[in-house]
Amino acid sequence: MEFPLLLLLFFSLFFNATSHMLLLKNNTSPFPCNFLFGTSSSSYQFEGAFLSDGKGLSNWDVFTHKPGTIMDGSNGDIAVDHYRRYQEDVDLMQFLGANTYRFSLSWARILPKGKFGKVNKAGIDYYNRLIDALLQRGIEPFVTITHYDIPQELEDRYKGWLSPKIQEDFKYYADICFKNFGDRVKYWVTFNEPNVAIVRGYRTGLWPPQRCSASFGNCSHGDSETEPFIAASNLILSHASVVTLYRTKYQKKQGGRIGIVMNAIWFEPLSNSREDKLAAERAQSFFMNWFLDPIILGNYPEEMHEILGPDLPSFSRNDKQKLKTSGLDFIGVNHYTSYYAKDCIFSACEPGKGSSRTEGFALNSPQINGFSIGQPTELDWLYVHPEGMEKIVTYIKNRYNNTPMFITENGLGTLEKPNPTIEDIINDVKRVEYLSSYLDSLATAIRKGANVRGYFVWSLLDNFEWTYGYTIRFGLHRVDYATLNRTRRFSALWYKQFIAQHTNKACLSSS
């Protein structure tokens, strides 16, 4: 395409996408002073260099190398080579005007064999280089300690999250992270989306360690009715130990904050019936509150006790005390989509997705009985329902006493045509529409009093999308997987503009 034509296309799209943004009226931004705007990533999806400089194998390295696990047969061996190209990537963030970057540390890069081996100095050096490069450009590092990938050694030795032994290992690892990086890192996340990792690892078996019962999936070991709850309880207690460690040994001196990131789906009752409303509550309790309630309120949601009985591991008096005194400083919210929820206690549901006891007898899905919660996308689990952002943020605000929140992920995944033209590559108007409508909805929640402190787009770049491999692209920048070249998409320019318009100049001078 001729260059001027391309330019024209650009501007027409640009004005189209910005004209329906209500946020800019009177030039007052609803986003508070010092609001963080950035992008998110994770070690396994970005770094590559899977065996470089002393890194050990992670559970995801081993899993992706098994045939048939990943849609396009790919893996994260190279990913987007962030390990070597981080400087170029930090330049892209600077161009956006972002003031934060969320990334995760690879446990197996720092401790190739968990606490059963030595610290890998080259791993520490890499993260030091990345952190310093960010700070030099005024970008605040927002660090996830574990984003799904754990050293394979811990699976082999004691079955990972199924063993209480992992609590000691996680504490040992986090201590090394605080000690080495805590002078410069002021935002810590213990875990990314444990609710997704545990459901996929131990209920449906689609992710490592591929454990489930026959009626839930195709696994050679496991028990979908009990193991997810055991793994979750070990993870919740691991979070508590590490928060206690941070509070007692580091927080005063280093002055940072620590939280956890949950996958947060908004569950909308399928009908106005009392039964469906209760089902939507149960769906939330069995998905998100399952983790946040014990961490913030000291015990599992009541509905979980009632439905699961003895299959829900109970916390000892000691554990409860530990949970109460540790808690968290903020809740990280990864929000992409909403689902309908339908009751399966008082009415019959077909056996299958969501209707089991392990999900609180609440059928939950983006489409039920021909009703769709929003526009479908090229990802089977992602439907566009911007109102869900305001609703989930408000729900969390009310349930957890307006604990500070960060929207740690939000974004749209798309497919790419074979042999795409430059226009196919950069013209991602759907992504811009998605992001601007979700940010609008977030702004409404903030105006109504939600204590939200930051927002991160998933993701800076296209990357390894777990079992979808490289087929699904979430990037503000497109990655050519043959050359690893990054190309700026229209959404990157849009986000740059958005950040500039919503960074409150008055705050800058007073801070």
Residue type, 377: T
Report the alpha-carbon distance of residue 360 to residue 362 in Å, rounded: 5
Closest CB 216 distance from ligand PNW, rounded Å: 16
User: Are 494 and 17 within 8 A, CB to CB?
Assistant: yes
Q: Is 246 in the site for ligand PNW (CB under 6 A)?
A: no
Q: Which of 42, 106, 167, 180 binds ligand PNW (CB under 6 A)?
A: 42
Q: Is 196 in the site for ligand PNW (CB under 6 A)?
A: yes
How far, rounded to the nearest angstrom, does the alpha carbon of residue 135 sit from its chain's CA centroid? Answer: 23
Closest CB 193 distance from ligand PNW, rounded Å: 5
Return the residues of window 301-330 that contact ligand PNW according to CB under 6 A: none
With respect to ligand PNW, which residue has the nearer C-beta, 440 or 462? 462
- 3-state DSSP assignment of residue 324: helix
Closest CB 392 distance from ligand PNW, rounded Å: 12
Instruction: Give the N- to C-terminal CA distance of the chain in Å, as an integer.
Output: 46
**In which residue are the tokens 């509070």 written?**
247
Report the alpha-carbon distance of residue 322 to residue 167 in Å, rounded: 13
Closest CB 241 distance from ligand PNW, rounded Å: 23
Q: Is 195 in the site for ligand PNW (CB under 6 A)?
A: no
Q: Is 358 in the site for ligand PNW (CB under 6 A)?
A: no
Cis peptide before 356 (omega within 30 of 0): no
Closest CB 337 distance from ligand PNW, rounded Å: 6
Q: Is 251 in the site for ligand PNW (CB under 6 A)?
A: no
Q: Is 462 in the site for ligand PNW (CB under 6 A)?
A: no
Q: H/E/C letters for each residue in 196-209?
A: HHHHHHHCCCCCCC
With respect to ligand PNW, which residue has the nearer C-beta, 196 or 429? 196
What phi-psi label fits residue 31: left (phi over 0), alpha (psi between -120 and 50 degrees) or beta? beta
User: Are 404 and 329 within 8 A, CB to CB?
Assistant: yes
Closest CB 466 distance from ligand PNW, rounded Å: 6
- 3-state DSSP assignment of residue 312: coil
Q: Is 204 in the site for ligand PNW (CB under 6 A)?
A: no
Half-sphere exposure of 441 (CA within 13 A, CB side): 22
For residue 509, give Cα distances in angstroms to 31, 134, 500, 504: 16, 22, 15, 9
Structure tokens at 1: 């395409």
Query: Which of 201, 203, 340, 160 lies closest to 266 in space, CA to CA?
Result: 340
Q: Is 192 in the site for ligand PNW (CB under 6 A)?
A: yes
Q: Which segment (30-38, 310-318, 334-342, 395-403) binds ligand PNW by CB under 6 A?
A: 334-342
Q: Which of 263, 355, 410, 444 binds ligand PNW (CB under 6 A)?
A: 263
Residue type, 157: R
- 409 noted as active-site residue: yes
Q: Is 149 in the site for ligand PNW (CB under 6 A)?
A: no
Q: Which of 173, 246, 336, 490 binds ligand PNW (CB under 6 A)?
A: 336
Q: How many residues bind ligand PNW (CB under 6 A)?
A: 15
With respect to ligand PNW, which residue has the nearer C-beta, 242 or 382? 382
Q: Which of 155, 303, 390, 409 is catalytic?
A: 409
Structure tokens at 128: 């030091």
Residue type, 231: A
For residue 141, give Cα distances in angstroms to 5, 95, 133, 183, 184: 39, 16, 10, 11, 8
Closest CB 196 distance from ligand PNW, rounded Å: 5
Q: Tell me the residue number closest to ligand PNW, measured at CB.
A: 381
Q: Is 409 in the site for ligand PNW (CB under 6 A)?
A: yes
Q: Which of 386, 465, 477, 502 binds ligand PNW (CB under 6 A)?
A: 465
Residues in contact with ligand PNW by the rule CB under 6 A: 42, 45, 192-193, 196, 263, 265, 334, 336-337, 381, 409, 458, 465, 474
Question: Active-site residues: which are they?
Answer: 409
